[in-house]
């Protein structure tokens, strides 16, 4: 049986991909950002996930204004890095897990989530930057990826509550997949940032950290945050954080933080990163023994 | 549903944030061809044609004269007012060789150096910029 063993939240700022690809990831500006992912890279080597369900948003790369799916799941076998205007990133192609993806897609639709199914697309920095942050420079990504794209560009995006519920439905779908698979769910985007207008550059360290706090433990109060609060408090692009709630919803009733990282700035954005262990009846180790010290403090 | 969201109240709130144009359906409709034009710059052959003659390239797209002028002037605040979305507009400034910080700073009324200094100092505080109506 497939089981969800961890959840990861991470920003997906495109500049991180550029910094990594140009070998600037340990310089004075980017060093402190990438250092916050060192723990996770080591941890992933022992976790060895088979599949990542990677929740992200497309940034006018695979989707344009012709079709705007609210929730779309990649059911293909193979995705290439997108050309976002300066040529595709020189990172490995992404391989899907079509059996699991189609199983999840069918299960979600029967569970009343009306998913869009994608057979072919290119994947942009929203998907490839988190892979780089968690796995570094590799010849091939060490696991398969099921892309789950969310519209957070054209209003209204899905509510936080709907995202959380989708995560719960993904957990049910994974639990009913017969093959023995180690599955992680990643929620990407955020944290506070605004890329437009005279208010651009907004950062709200306090709100971001309360949001990180809220992903840990038993509370589900984050699912009730309305869109307008994300916009007012964290900038127009901070709305991407609703995607983290899909990850959190998939982890069940309670979570334990294994690692936590927060840094300002990266380009226009606050970087947030959290590694969570779910207490979801899968008998996972819920003691603090595996956690990094950083998980306990901001 | 967790609350009985009234769409008129929901949309009114989105217009209440200082210095911000939320990409609502109304803006998406107004900016459809503008955003699709910007999207076309994803292809390298189109970028070459665009760079060779911007005005001629724009003739292939159903943009208003106002939108065309703002594109040629790289006036991003006006492009937001005319229905542009920043992820689509990013195809224009990426083709110009500008980073997000460089392009975004042009919308804030300060130089890119001042903008970067603000970001390095922790970014712009939301205090006073949450709501036009409530002035908080």
pLDDT, one tens digit per residue, over B23-81 is 999 999 999 999 999 999 999 899 999 999 999 999 999 999 999 999 999 999 999 99
Residue A298, pLDDT > 80, answer no
Q: Tell me the mean pLDDT in the region A11-15.
A: 95
Q: Do B126 and A204 touch (CB under 8 A)?
A: yes
Name the strand (E) or helix (H) holding B50: helix B44-52
Return the residue of A nearest to B34 by Cα. Answer: A65
Q: Do A268 and B104 touch (CB under 8 A)?
A: yes
Interface residue A159 vs chain B (CB under 8 A): yes
Structure confidence at residue B24 (pLDDT): 98
**Cβ contacts (< 8 Å) between B47 and chain A: which residues?**
85
Residue B1, pLDDT > 60, answer no
A20, A59, A103, A193: the catalytic one is A193
Q: Do A85 and B90 touch (CB under 8 A)?
A: yes
A97 is annotated as an active-site residue: no
Residue A74, pLDDT > 70, answer yes
> Which of the two residues, A134 and A290, has the higher pLDDT score?
A134
Structure confidence at residue A103 (pLDDT): 98
How far apart are the C-alpha atoms of A127 and A22, rounded to whole Å? 19
Q: Distance between alpha carbon A165 and the CA centroid of its chain, in Å?
A: 16
Q: Looking at A60-124, list the stretches that DSSP marks H as alpha helix, in order from N- to C-terminal side.
A: 98-110
Structure confidence at residue A280 (pLDDT): 85
CB distance A135 to A127 below 8 Å: no
A12, A20, A97, A125: the catalytic one is A125
Edge-to-edge order in the sheet of strand A122-123? A94-95, A78-81, A122-123
Lowest pLDDT segment from A110-114, A250-254, A283-287, B86-90: A283-287
Cα torsion B25, A211, A131, A120 to 10°: value is -30
The 10s digit of each residue's pLDDT in A87-109 is 899 999 999 999 999 999 999 99
Confidence band of B4 (pLDDT split at 50, 70, 90): low
Return the residue of A nearest to B105 by Cα. Answer: A200
Adjacent-strand bridge partners of A9 = A187, A274
A125 is annotated as an active-site residue: yes
Q: How many residue pairs bridge chain A and chain B with CB atoms within 8 Å of each other?
A: 157
Q: Return the percentage of chain A with pLDDT > 90, whole number.
A: 91
Q: Do B129 and A264 touch (CB under 8 A)?
A: no
Confidence band of A285 (pLDDT split at 50, 70, 90): confident
Residue A293, pLDDT > 60, answer no
Least CB–CB distance from A155: residue in B22, B44, B47: B22
* Reported pTM: 0.96
CB within 8 Å of chain B, chain A residues 22-61: 59-61
**Cβ contacts (< 8 Å) between B101 and chain A: which residues?**
267-268
Edge-to-edge order in the sheet of strand A269-279? A116-118, A71-74, A144-150, A51-56, A182-188, A3-10, A269-279, A254-266
Residue A117, pLDDT > 80, answer yes
Q: Return the percentage of chain A with pLDDT > 70, whole number.
A: 97
How far apart are the C-alpha atoms of A43 and A259, rounded to whole Å? 10
Chain B: closest CA distance from residue A152 (Å): 10
Contacts of A294 (CB under 8 A, 6+ apart): A36, A39, A259, A260, A261
CB distance A102 to A51 below 8 Å: no
CB distance A141 to A200 below 8 Å: no
Q: Tell me the mean pLDDT in the region B71-98.
A: 96
Angle between helices B7-14 and A227-234 (to 10 degrees): 10
ipTM of the modeled complex:
0.96
Confidence band of B5 (pLDDT split at 50, 70, 90): confident
Structure confidence at residue B119 (pLDDT): 98
**Cβ contacts (< 8 Å) between A165 and chain B: which residues?**
none
What DSSP character marks residue A182? E
Residue A4, pLDDT > 60, answer yes
Structure confidence at residue A295 (pLDDT): 56
CB within 8 Å of chain B, chain A residues 101-140: none
Pairing of strands A254-266, A182-188: unpaired
């Amino acid at each position: 049986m497939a089981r969800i063993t961890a959840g990861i939240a991470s920003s997906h700022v495109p500049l991180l991909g550029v910094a990594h690809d140009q070998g600037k990831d340990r310089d004075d500006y980017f060093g402190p950002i990438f250092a916050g992912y060192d723990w996770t890279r080591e941890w992933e080597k022992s976790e060895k996930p088979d599949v990542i369900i990677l929740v992200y948003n497309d940034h006018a790369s695979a989707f344009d204004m012709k079709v705007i799916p609210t929730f779309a799941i990649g059911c293909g076998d193979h995705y290439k890095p997108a050309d976002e205007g300066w040529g595709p990133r020189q990172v490995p192609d992404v391989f899907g897990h079509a059996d699991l993806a189609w199983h999840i897609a069918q299960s979600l639709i029967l569970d009343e989530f009306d998913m869009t199914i994608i057979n072919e697309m290119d994947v942009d920095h929203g998907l490839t930057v988190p892979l780089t942050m968690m796995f570094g420079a590799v010849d091939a990504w060490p696991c398969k990826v099921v892309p789950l794209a969310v519209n957070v560009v054209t209003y209204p995006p899905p509510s936080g509550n709907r995202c959380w519920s989708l995560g719960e439905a993904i957990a049910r779908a994974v639990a009913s997949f017969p093959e023995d698979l180690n599955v992680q769910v990643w929620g990407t985007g955020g944290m506070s940032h605004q890329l437009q207008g005279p208010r651009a550059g907004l950062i709200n360290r306090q709100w971001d950290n309360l949001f990180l706090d809220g992903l840990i433990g038993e509370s589900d109060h984050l699912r009730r945050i309305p869109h307008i609060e994300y916009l007012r408090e964290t900038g127009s692009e901070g709305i991407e954080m609703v995607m983290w709630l899909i990850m959190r919803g998939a982890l069940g009733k309670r979570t334990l933080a294994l690692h936590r990282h927060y840094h300002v700035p990266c380009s226009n954005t606050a970087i947030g990163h959290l590694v969570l262990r779910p207490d979801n009846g899968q008998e996972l180790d819920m003691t603090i023994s595996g956690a990094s010290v950083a998980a306990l403090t901001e | 549903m967790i609350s009985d969201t009234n769409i008129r109240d929901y949309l009114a709130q989105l217009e209440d944030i200082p210095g911000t144009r939320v990409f609502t359906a109304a803006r998406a409709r107004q900016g459809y061809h503008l955003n699709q034009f910007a999207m076309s710059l994803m292809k390298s052959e189109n970028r070459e044609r665009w760079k060779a003659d911007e005005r001629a390239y724009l003739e292939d797209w159903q943009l208003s004269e106002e939108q065309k002028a703002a594109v040629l002037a790289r006036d991003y605040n006006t492009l937001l007012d005319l229905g542009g979305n920043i992820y689509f507009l990013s195809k224009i400034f990426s083709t110009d060789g500008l980073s997000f910080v460089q392009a975004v700073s042009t919308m804030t009324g300060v130089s890119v150096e001042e903008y970067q200094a603000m970001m390095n100092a922790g970014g712009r505080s939301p205090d006073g910029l949450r709501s036009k109506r409530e002035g908080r």
